[in-house]
Chains A and B, each alone.
Chain A
Amino acid sequence: MTTFHVRFGLTPEDERCLLFGARLASSCVAPLFVWIPDDLAARRLLKKQPAATTVYMEEDAILKHVRRRFVHEDLHTSYMQLMLGDLHIDTSRVSESLLIGSSFATTHPAFSYVVPKDETDLRARGDGSICVPLGNGDSARRVATFVLPLAAKLGVSVVFYHTTWLDPKLLADAAPERHMLPAVAEHLRAMRAEAAALGVSCEAVIEAASTVDDGILRFALHRNCSLIAMARSVQIGRGSHVDQALARSVIPVLVVGRSAQ
C-alpha cells in the first residue's frame, strides 16, 4: 500500500478523518491525497469572479486552514496533496490505496477503507496490536495480505482472533484450539508464515465466544487493539460481521475491499 486518501470537509468527523489519515500517512511515509469535493453548478453562482478563480481561491483557503490545523496538531503538510473533485484512483492502484472515512463505505465497495470512529490517531490509546478476526472462509487471508505490510510499516504487532463453535465430539472444556476447524488452522498457518516473512510479530488467540461479533469486540477492547481489520465475504447477504463491527465498535475498523488480493 502506498497511498492514503481522505475527503476534505469541515464537520468534526471529516476533521478526525483528516488528522487520522495525516498521522497514518506520516507513520508509513506515504502520500496523503486530500480530495476537495467540487460543485460546478454552485461555483457558477459566484459571479464576482470567474469560476476558475473560485477554485484557486478555495484551494488556497483550504490549504491555509489545513496548515493551521496541522501546526496545532504538530503535523507536517509536506506529504499532503490537495486534489479537486470526487475521488478518482487509477484502477491499477486501487489495491494499494486506503481511503479514510465512513463516507467511502457505500460509494466504493472495491476499495479498502478505514473508519477512525472517534479517534484522530491510530496510536491514540497506546501501541495496540491490529486485530484480524478469522473464520473458515478466506476473507481473513485477504485482510492479512493487505494489513501485514501496513503493520510492518507501522511497527505494530498483529493478533489473529478466532472464535469457534464447540465440537460436540469433544469435551466442552477441551482447549479451544481442538474445537477449531481444519480450514481455520490452515489459514492460520499460512498467515503466520506471511507475517514472519514480513518480520511482523503476531500471535493467535482462539476462543469459544457466545457470538462472533461479541467475541471480536470484547477481545479487541480488552487487548487494547488499535485497529480491527476485516473483509466482507462475498457470500454474506445480510448481517455481516463487518457491518456489526462498524455499527458497534469504538475501535477504528479497517474494511479490506474486494479488489485487494
Chain B
Amino acid sequence: MMAIVFVMYLCKVIAKLIIGYSVHSPMITGDGWHNVADLLEVVMVIVAVRMARRPADEDYPFGRKNVESIARAMIGVGLLLAALRFVGASVAGLLSYAPELDRAVRGVVPFLPHHQPLQMGSGIAPWVISVTAISVGLSFVVSRHEIRVGKTHGHPSMVADGEETKSDGLIESAILIGICAEYIFRAPWLEYIFGLGVAALISRTGLELFLGGWRALLQKSLGREVETALKEECGKIHGVATVEQITTFTVGSLAVCIIKILTDAPANAHDDIKKALKERLAKRLVELGHEDATFHLRFSRTPHCWQRVAYAVVSDGSAHAVATDLEEATHFAVCNIKRGIAERWWLEKLPSADQGECVSWLEDKRVEKLYFFGDRQPERHGNVVFDGVPTYNLRTLGLLDH
C-alpha cells in the first residue's frame, strides 16, 4: 500500500515542479515541494509500520507500536504547519485587493508571505487544470484506501498519512479552484476564500492527529466511558466480586487494560474467570472502537475483617447450647471470625458468676461481642457488646457440622 502512495507522490512531485516552474506558479511549485516533504513522510511511515510490527519482547513488553504514535504526532504537526502556510497565502491573496490594509496588516504581522499571482498563458491552462484535477482525484482515492488499510491492520501512522493525503487533496482542490476562477470566471479571490476554509479543515485534522499521538505517548486513559463499560462487563462475570482498580492506555493502536479484580472464587477457578473476562472484554472494546487490545488481569481476595466474638454457652461436655443469659451459662465459646466464618473456636469455663469480672475477662481476650440466645437489643458493657442470636444451636451458628 505504501509503495503505491510513494509512487503517487513521486509522480506528483515531478509533474508539479515541471508545470510550476514552466508557468511561474509559486502555488503549484510550493505544493510540489510540499509533496517532496510528503515523500519523506511516506518513508517515515514505512519505517514506523515495520518497527511497530516487531513482536513484544523482554525489552519492549508492550511492543514498539508507540513509534506509530510518534509518526502520528509528527504528521499532525506537519499538517498544522501546512495549514498555517496556506492561511498566510490565502490572507496575502485577499489583502492584495486592498493595498492600504495590506500595509497596515504587515506592520503588525511582518512574516506574512508576499502575494504571488499566477502567470500562465491560456495555451497551457488546460494542461495545468488537467494535471491538478488528476492530482486531486488521486489524492482522494489513495487517501481513502490508505485510511481503510491502516484501520484494518491497526496502523495509526498509516491512517494519519491517509488523512494527510486527504488534506493534500483539499489543498489541491483550492489551487484548482483558483486556477479555474482566474482563467474561466476572472475571479481569483474565490481561491483565497476557499483556501481559508480548507486551512480550517486541515488544521482540525492536524490537531486531531497530533493530540491522538500525544495522548498515546503520554499514556492517556481510554476515558471514563470506556473504563465504566469495562467495569460493568466485569461485574457481569460470575466470580467477580468487584473491580478494585482499572488502568487503561494505548500503545500505538493497542489498547492496554490493567485490571485488579477482587474475588472470593477459589484459586482453581481464576483461570476460567480470566479467560472469560478476556474474551468478553475484548468483544466489548471492539464495540467501543478499540480493535486491538491486551489485558493484564490481577486477582485478589476480597479484604476481610478479623474479629473475635464469644457465645455464652451451657455445656455438659458433649452437648452445647447458647444460653439466654450469663446466669445460665457455664462456658464461653470464644471464636475467631474471618469472612463471617468461625475459623477457630474453643470453650473456656466462665471465669466468674459476676458480670463485671466476666466482662474484664472478655476484654482481656479481646472479645468484641458476646452473644446470647434470644431476640435482644445490642447493649455495651465496657468494650464488649452484648447481643442476641436467634438460635441456641451451635450447628445453626456454623460452629458444628450438620
Q: Is this pair of chains taken from one and the same complex?
A: yes
Contact surface of A with B, Cβ cutoff 8 Å: 7-12, 14, 36-39, 41-49, 54, 57-58, 60-62, 64-65, 103, 107, 117-119, 125-126, 214, 217-218, 221-222, 224, 247-251
Q: How far is B392's CA from A43's CA once the two chains are assembled, in angstroms?
A: 7
With contacts A7-B402, A9-B398 taken as known, whether A39 is within 8 angstroms of B272 at the C-beta atoms is no
Contact B276 A221, beta carbon cutoff 8 Å = yes
Contact B375 A64, beta carbon cutoff 8 Å = yes
What's the least CB distance linking B302 to chain A, in Å? Answer: 10
Asked whether any CB of chain A lies closer than 8 Å to the CB of B239, the reply is: yes
User: Total interface residues on B, using CB and 8 Å?
Assistant: 46
What's the least CB distance linking A39 to chain B, in Å? Answer: 5
Cβ contact of B323, chosen from A46, A61, A117, cutoff 8 A:
A46
What's the least CB distance linking B73 to chain A, in Å? Answer: 38
Q: How far is B315's CA from A224's CA once the two chains are assembled, in angstroms?
A: 49
What's the least CB distance linking B17 to chain A, in Å? Answer: 56
Q: How far is B341's CA from A247's CA once the two chains are assembled, in angstroms?
A: 19
Contact B272 A221, beta carbon cutoff 8 Å = yes
* Interface hit among B38-46, B85-93, B134-142, B262-270: B262-270
Contact A10 B265, beta carbon cutoff 8 Å = no
Q: How far is B211's CA from A96's CA once the two chains are assembled, in angstroms?
A: 64
Q: How far is B272's CA from A42's CA once the two chains are assembled, in angstroms?
A: 44
Q: How far is B237's CA from A14's CA once the two chains are assembled, in angstroms?
A: 22
Contact A250 B238, beta carbon cutoff 8 Å = yes
Q: How far is B325's CA from A48's CA once the two chains are assembled, in angstroms?
A: 10
The 9 closest A-B pairs by CB, nearest first: A250-B239, A221-B276, A61-B390, A11-B398, A42-B321, A41-B319, A12-B340, A65-B390, A45-B314
The interface residues of chain A lying within 8 Å CB-to-CB of B321 are: 39, 42-43, 45-46
Contact A54 B273, beta carbon cutoff 8 Å = no
Q: How far is B264's CA from A125's CA once the two chains are assembled, in angstroms?
A: 16
The interface residues of chain A lying within 8 Å CB-to-CB of B221 are: none
User: Residue-by-residue, is B197-208 near A (CB-CB < 8 Å gives 1, otherwise 0)?
Assistant: 000000000000
With contacts A118-B239, A221-B237 taken as known, whether A61 is within 8 angstroms of B328 at the C-beta atoms is no
The interface residues of chain A lying within 8 Å CB-to-CB of B273 are: 221, 250
Contact B238 A58, beta carbon cutoff 8 Å = no
The interface residues of chain A lying within 8 Å CB-to-CB of B396 are: 8-10, 36-37
Q: How far is B321's CA from A126's CA once the two chains are assembled, in angstroms?
A: 42
The interface residues of chain B lying within 8 Å CB-to-CB of A217 are: 269, 272
Contact A47 B319, beta carbon cutoff 8 Å = no
Nearest CB in chain A to that of B340: its residue: A12
Q: How far is B325's CA from A127's CA once the two chains are assembled, in angstroms?
A: 48
Asked whether any CB of chain A lies closer than 8 Å to the CB of B351, the reply is: no
The interface residues of chain B lying within 8 Å CB-to-CB of A9 are: 395-398
Contact B340 A39, beta carbon cutoff 8 Å = no
With contacts A9-B396, A39-B395 taken as known, whether A221 is within 8 angstroms of B238 at the C-beta atoms is yes
The interface residues of chain A lying within 8 Å CB-to-CB of B390 are: 10, 58, 61-62, 64-65
With contacts A42-B319, A46-B323, A47-B328 taken as known, whether A37 is within 8 angstroms of B393 at the C-beta atoms is yes
Contact B373 A46, beta carbon cutoff 8 Å = yes
Since A36-B391, A36-B393, A46-B324 are in contact, a sample of 12 more A-B pairs with Cβ atoms closer than 8 Å, ordered by chain A residue number, is A8-B396, A9-B396, A10-B396, A11-B341, A11-B398, A42-B393, A45-B319, A47-B328, A217-B272, A218-B275, A222-B279, A248-B268
The interface residues of chain B lying within 8 Å CB-to-CB of A221 are: 237-239, 272-273, 275-276
